[in-house]
Amino acid sequence: MNPVYCSKGHENPPGSRFCLHCGEKLGNPVTQGIQAGLTLSERYVIVRQLGQGGFGRTYLAEDLNRFREFCVLKEFSPQVQTTYVVQKAEELFEREASVLYKLEHPQIPRFRELFRSKLNDKEYLFLVQDYVQGETYSALLQTRKQQGFLFTEIEARQLLQQILPVLEYIHSLGVIHRDISPDNLILRSTPQEPIGLPILIDFGGVKQVAAAVASQYYQPGVGTPSPPPTLLGKIGYAPPEQMRTGLVEAHSDLYALAATVLVLMTGKQPQELIDPHTLSWRWRQEISLSSNLAAVLDKMLSPAPSDRYKSASQVLAALTLAQQPLPKPTAATVAVAPPVASSPTPQPQRKEGGVPVKTLIVALVLTMTAGLVAWGVTKFFKSPSDSDPSPDTTQESTPTSSAKPTQQTKDPLAKFSPEERQRKQTLNDRRQKLAIDNDFYVKLVNQVFREKNRGLGERSLSDGSEDEGLRVRWDQTGKDLLDKLALLSLSARRQLGSYTADKRDRWKDQVNKIHVGSRSLYDLGDAAFFTQFPEQQGKNFIDQPIGQVWYGFVYDKLNDILAGKAFRRIVFDPGAIGKTVSGTLYGGDGKVFIAGLAKDQLMDLKLQASSKVLLSVYSPSGKIRFLENSTRRSLSVTLPEEGFYEFVVVSTTSQPVDYQLSLQAVYQNASPTPTSTTTTTPEPSAKPTVTPSDEPKENLSP
């Protein structure tokens, strides 16, 4: 007999009525779906089933392309199996996955790729993400209840301070989790980073897509009434308006987080803490909390959305201010405070070891930084080697007391109008939130601004009213650049200003290990970069600040290739002489395909796509470029080498474009029969090597 599993994936002996790990009743145990040991997409080996929900199962798998590293596969299979429905489901899932893939935070599992697989004549979609080993907070609560105790107020406050920066991060990118609960928070048990911090899993956006497919593309007439629309979120955890209408905002996640904290402290489900007649929370009958935390939770759980906190940073500020007494207004603090009446926004940053940054001292330092940035902005076009005078020496000397220049030094924003101060403060807040180094940011804006305003020459802008219009344009240039830099991953943004040729060489080695040449990597990076910066085409920019942005896009494409999102190996089916692959490319996207082919085979390649899709074809050694960023749609050639040939398709438009790539390979003196296909995809004797020609294009060469 097979083992049985609870909804959390715990394995139990056959015939068990209760889970031996968490105590869950197994009256309706999770049934096994895909058999362990089966390999999907020639890459993922199923280990066991982890759980089962309303839209499919979740599996633990090993990634053969990552030295059998564990990962999680989330399954979805449309109930109606028509070509249109399956394709539409894949499009919707890919759109959602592309959003989730951009999330890069140590407390969020990384989304890797989306792929389709056919099992038993049924189409399945699988979303792949990192595996987090540990216990859910739901399981931790069950263990504590069995031991006779619950989560304390100190632990609850700590959980809030640890997870709120994560919510601030995802909300800043326009992502709402939709389904926060103890089941979707995991305390990692492995010794890797982040140690001792909760991990946020199971974003509800994927379920929302599954629900849309189930309702919108359900086809009546098969004897079953059309299913009602599915509203996501757990009853009691999700706010009432989310359960009624499905509409969500940032405060929806804050409501669910507050409900989660109360469940952990009381040991009771939300339905037990809500009055069934008035629908108001009555948790105070169960526990006694400090007045501050009680007030914060009440505001997070307000029945009217307008009465709740609007952002995670507001909740963090409320918790932080209550923990520490406000400093007395000394001369130092008055001098540091900016003239704009705005409290600094806590950022989702971490100290070494994973401790969130949230003290008032740090907030004051950030405020000082904002002022220094605003001053540095007006001194653009100066060489980094120039010795700038201190801020107060740039002002006319006055016969007043020494206190005035001291205040100007610490408050350089004071010389600007309130509108300009607010504009510069907003820009600096955005830059900090994106984790972009300030020195690099100023150099980048200077470069782009100078290229747009060449008539200014090398002169600096003044702080006076005569250059106010130019300062507006400088700030607008900075805003436009931040919008484009936001497309990069968090890790890529953090490295801006520090990319080197040595790092690029290491990237070459990484892609070579999976039989991809660096030219293919650069093709993907070029497409993404030039889609955002078309004016840089043909320029030699690699050693300029904008060259660092190119590095950032290439770095992200490197990770896309290594994760399998932008990389696929073409393997012919048994008895076949060719293979067709297809998909959709979004703004500036690209994909690398490789196929192991033999010398002297006749290769026939056809691409069906709009003229906005470019095609490149490279030999295994990289010495021969059959096509490079070409609009040609076919290629027939006798192959000069044995090894992995590379086929790169990239989009040069911001609109989604479909493509279909068909590849055939046979020996010229062989008939296209199954007997001739045994040698169509031989393994190469050695991996492709990087040659001197396998460098960035001429205009990018250092």
* 3-class SS string, 596-612: EECCCEEEEEEEEECCC
Question: Residue 399: how many CB atoms within 10 A of its CB?
Answer: 4
Quick one: DSSP state of residue 53? E
Q: Whole-angstrom Cα distance, residue 302 to residue 446?
A: 47
Retrieve residue 299's tokens: 């505001």
Q: Which long-range contacts (CB under 8 A, 24 or more apart) does 616-620 make?
A: 616/519, 616/520, 616/523, 616/646, 616/647, 616/648, 616/650, 617/645, 617/646, 617/647, 617/648, 618/517, 618/519, 618/520, 618/645, 618/646, 618/648, 619/643, 619/645, 620/515, 620/644, 620/645, 620/684, 620/688
CB 254 within 8 A of CB 312: yes
Coil, helix or strand at residue 78: coil
Q: What are phi and psi of 540, to 5 degrees?
A: -95, 90
Count of CB atoms situated within 10 Å of the CB of 50: 20
Active site residues: 179
Q: Give the residue carrying structure tokens 């009381």.
A: 266
Concatenated DSSP letters of 124-156: EEEEEEE---EEEHHHHHHHHHHHT----HHHH
Cβ neighbours of residue 169 closer than 8 Å, sequence gap 6 or more: 103, 105, 348
Where are any strands of DSSP class E within 41-178? 44-53, 56-63, 69-76, 111-119, 122-130, 134-136
3-state SS assignment for residue 4: strand
The dihedrals phi and psi of 42, each to the nearest 5 degrees, come to 55, 25
Given a contact cutoff of 8 angstroms between Cβ atoms, the answer to whether 375 and 412 are in contact is yes
CA distances in angstroms from 242 to 238, 248, 445, 476, 533, listed in the order given = 6, 6, 42, 37, 40
The annotation status of 74 as a binding-site residue, yes or no, is: yes
Query: Phi and psi for 180 in degrees, rounded to 5?
Result: -75, 130
Place of tokens 């943004």: 493
What 3-state DSSP class applies to 106? coil
> Using CA atoms, how far apart are residues 197 and 150, in angstroms rounded to an integer?
18
Cβ neighbours of 183 (radius 10 Å)? 19
Question: Is the Cα dihedral 635, 636, 637, 638 positive or negative?
Answer: positive
**Rounded CA separation 531/543 (Å):** 20
Residue with tokens 């490149």, as numbered in its chain = 616
Phi and psi, residue 604, nearest 5°: -120, 120
Quickly count: other Cβ atoms within 10 Å of residue 420's Cβ: 16
**Which pair of structure tokens corresponds to residue 528?**
């993404």
Rounded (10°) CA dihedral 492, 495, 498, 503: -50
Answer for the pair 62, 128: CB distance below 8 angstroms, yes or no.
no
Q: Are the C-beta atoms of residues 630 and 614 closer than 8 Å to each other?
A: yes
Annotated binding site for ATP: 74
Annotated binding site: 74
